[in-house]
Chains A and B, each alone.
Chain A
Amino acid sequence: MRWLLTKDLRILGRSRLLVALLVVYPVVIALLIGLALSRGPGRPRVAVVDETPPGETVQVGTERVEVHRYVQQLFDQLDAIEVPTREQAVAKVRSGGALAAVVIPPNIVTKASSGTEQGELELIYNGDALEQSLVQSQLSSALAEANLGFSKQIQDVAAQAIDQLLKGGNLSEIGAPADLVGLEQIPALLARVIAHQRPGPDRDALQRVATFADFAAQNLTLSKRVLASVGQPIKVRSTLLHGRRTPLDTFAVVVAVSISLMFISVLLAAGAIALEREEHALHRLLRGLVRVRVLLAEKCALAGGCGFVVALAMLAGVGAFVPLRWGRFPLWLAALALGAAAFAALGVAIGVLAREVRAASLLAFLLSLPLAFLALVPRGAVARGIYDSINVISFVFPYKAALQALDAAVNGSAPAIGGSLAHLAVLALAFSVLAGAGLARSR
């Protein structure tokens, strides 16, 4: 095996373009995918037309809330371009200067204040089905956020008005006499008056008024909390059932590294075994000079070793920018080593099947890329039957197991690393057996 490995490394060393491609290409692809995963979509660029009269307000109890504050809430959710007219907004959308336009009509306050109608915004957008879907989903989310913010302001004003009624004081702005007593103070005042009253119908009547005032004060206090729960009726509290939550950026690192590991190991193993056949050396080797299992082990060692070194260097390099848990380093090594072995075994099986280098490389590439994407499809993103099929495909190829093993090794996430490592070991063995059978059959 030593001499075969030396020979392959020598050949590899003389194919500098191939080495550069094998290293640079997967690293670039992996980094692009990693970046795409770690960074959410930017705020949508939207033209906003505010047709409401300047200074327009919504009356809530004793306070008035400026409609402009709603527009500001909306602007905070978007990359907004303020335009004066609807026509200009339409032109912006048509020219591609904005993804969509939102028109806030002048009658929005009248409708919102009517108590019988909802205020209505106009959304203008363009583009293909995918773009339309993206704009709709991003704007729905932005409008929901803005609505929530505006509703919070209205709640605050309403709560303030209730507070004034409860605590009393100077309510002259709403036409009440100065130094008005608060509802909360009435039961105590009445109790003092009742104490000086003789028993009789008047005392009973005063007692009934005091009981009502106490009850009303308590219920108004409760209504402040009710207002808050109406504004945001359901609050989310998250519980992760198992493992540790993986931050998106460190998960992206794991994705990038595992993709590099896969590309290098699979492509190199497939190419190396196919090269033996293309150079007509395979039959010379297998006529007693080298055993099939030694040849396969040598190719796996070559391809897996190269993949392992590049992936480890990549992980260590990224670790300089993203905080990784270096205490788990031995687990990184285990995950990378078994991942590399499984990918290399898959590559060898591909190389045996394809027989020539170009076909082997193409087949390895065509198989690897979809496997990576399938493994990244989240549950719920597709119909259940399709997801089940994806799971079966991901189970019989090493990418998902390698991703899970590396995620568990680097981030301590679930499922536990032991299962993924065992899965990778079984896949490495299975693909090696397949490759061996293919080689034996070709003799």
Chain B
Amino acid sequence: MSAVLEVEGVGKRYGAVQALADVSFSTDAGEVVAVIGPNGAGKTTLLSIIAGSLAADSGDVRPAPERVGWAPQQAALYARLTVAENLELFARLERVPDPRAAVAAMLAQTELTERSGTLVGELSGGNRQRVNVALALIAQPPVLALDEPSAALDPAQRERLWRFVSGLAARGTAIVFSTHNVNEAQRYAQRAIVLADGRMLFDGTPDALLAAQPEAGADLERALVLFLEARARAAPAG
């Protein structure tokens, strides 16, 4: 299967801080990739660069940002526009051939048809996040970048979101998401990328990460912590 997303040697520096250093990976169509790591690891920076919202200092990302759907951590929506108006605006800006049809399809797909006339400012956090994801999907991109998509959601809303995302992947959309909730990576991702201090420390299946830390048993979160501690101990010597 050919890669729909290729990240090659991407680096980003904020003043003295190296936010990302030489990060490379690729993703196939329909693949779900979780980017995990501690706070300040560079997860949001990596997803923002993939989405074209942030310019990398070095390296290359394919495809162009227009071909990547992006749902930032904080929903990028106009509170004084309705759900449908938000979707239609971005459909037009994305030059979708039939914006109204795309809006109707997206409302149906995200089960927001009944809320289409509601001002976004009046929606619950869960529904706002669904609109946020719907905006990312309005142009039917082959790649979807989701930054902490379930952060503000309750368990039921999270479940519904992941069902929806899994459905997209099943239809061929490559999905890269960042999360603090390692269990989500274990449950929904086929691959996990571990970032720490801007460096990519691991790229493999969640099972491979578990296998690398046998003392963690089936607990991926514990495996991640042990993995990061082991790398930290090894770093001064290396």
A residues in contact (CB < 8 Å) with B: 3-4, 7, 10-11, 14-15, 279-281, 283-290, 443
**Known contacts A3-B89, A286-B53, A288-B52: A281-B78 contact under CB 8 Å:** yes
Q: Are A11 and B78 in contact (CB under 8 A)?
A: yes
- Chain A to chain B: the 10 pairs with minimum beta-carbon distance, closest first: A287-B52, A280-B76, A283-B53, A284-B76, A289-B93, A287-B53, A288-B65, A11-B80, A3-B92, A280-B74
Choose from A4, A7, A14, A289 the contact partner of B94 (Cβ within 8 Å): A289
Q: Which residue of A lies closest to B55 (CB)?
A: A443
Q: Are A279 and B76 in contact (CB under 8 A)?
A: yes
Q: Are B72 and A284 in contact (CB under 8 A)?
A: yes
- By a CB distance below 8 angstroms, the chain A residues around B85 are 7, 10
- By a CB distance below 8 angstroms, the chain B residues around A284 are 53, 70, 72, 76, 90, 135
- By a CB distance below 8 angstroms, the chain B residues around A3 are 89, 92-93
> Is B169 part of the contact surface with A, judged by Cβ < 8 Å?
no
> Is B75 part of the contact surface with A, judged by Cβ < 8 Å?
yes
**Known contacts A280-B75, A443-B53, A443-B54: A285-B80 contact under CB 8 Å:** no
Considering the chains assembled together, what is the distance between the CA atoms of A15 and B121 in angstroms? 13
Considering the chains assembled together, what is the distance between the CA atoms of A210 and B55 in angstroms? 109
- By a CB distance below 8 angstroms, the chain A residues around B72 are 280, 283-284
Smallest Cβ distance from B19 to chain A, in angstroms? 14
Considering the chains assembled together, what is the distance between the CA atoms of A281 and B78 in angstroms? 7
Considering the chains assembled together, what is the distance between the CA atoms of A62 and B52 in angstroms? 101
Q: Are B76 and A288 in contact (CB under 8 A)?
A: no
> Is B29 part of the contact surface with A, judged by Cβ < 8 Å?
no
Considering the chains assembled together, what is the distance between the CA atoms of A10 and B89 in angstroms? 12
Within 8 A of A (CB), among B47-83: 48, 51-55, 64-66, 70, 72, 74-81
Q: Which residue of A lies closest to B139 (CB)?
A: A289
Q: Which residue of A lies closest to B48 (CB)?
A: A283
Choose from B51, B79, B89, B135 the contact partner of A287 (Cβ within 8 Å): B51
**Known contacts A288-B65, A443-B55: A14-B80 contact under CB 8 Å:** yes
Q: Which residue of A lies closest to B51 (CB)?
A: A287
Choose from B55, B65, B80 the contact partner of A15 (Cβ within 8 Å): B80
Considering the chains assembled together, what is the distance between the CA atoms of A283 and B75 in angstroms? 11
Smallest Cβ distance from B51 to chain A, in angstroms? 6
* Most interface-central of A11, A280, A284, A286 (chain B CB within 10 A): A284
Smallest Cβ distance from A285 to chain B, in angstroms? 7
Considering the chains assembled together, what is the distance between the CA atoms of A3 and B90 in angstroms? 9
* 14 interchain pairs, CB-CB under 8 A: A7-B85, A10-B85, A11-B78, A11-B80, A280-B72, A281-B77, A283-B53, A284-B53, A287-B52, A287-B70, A288-B66, A289-B66, A443-B54, A443-B55
Considering the chains assembled together, what is the distance between the CA atoms of A279 and B135 in angstroms? 14
- By a CB distance below 8 angstroms, the chain B residues around A14 are 80
- By a CB distance below 8 angstroms, the chain A residues around B76 are 279-281, 283-284
- By a CB distance below 8 angstroms, the chain B residues around A443 are 53-55
- By a CB distance below 8 angstroms, the chain A residues around B135 are 284
- By a CB distance below 8 angstroms, the chain A residues around B89 are 3-4, 7
Q: Are B78 and A279 in contact (CB under 8 A)?
A: yes
Smallest Cβ distance from A31 to chain B, in angstroms? 30
- By a CB distance below 8 angstroms, the chain B residues around A288 are 52, 64-66
- By a CB distance below 8 angstroms, the chain A residues around B65 are 287-288
Considering the chains assembled together, what is the distance between the CA atoms of A286 and B76 in angstroms? 12
Considering the chains assembled together, what is the distance between the CA atoms of A11 and B81 in angstroms? 7
Considering the chains assembled together, what is the distance between the CA atoms of A443 and B53 in angstroms? 7
Smallest Cβ distance from A283 to chain B, in angstroms? 4
Considering the chains assembled together, what is the distance between the CA atoms of A285 and B55 in angstroms? 14
B29-59 interface code vs A (CB 8 A; 1 in, 0 out):
0000000000000000000100111110000
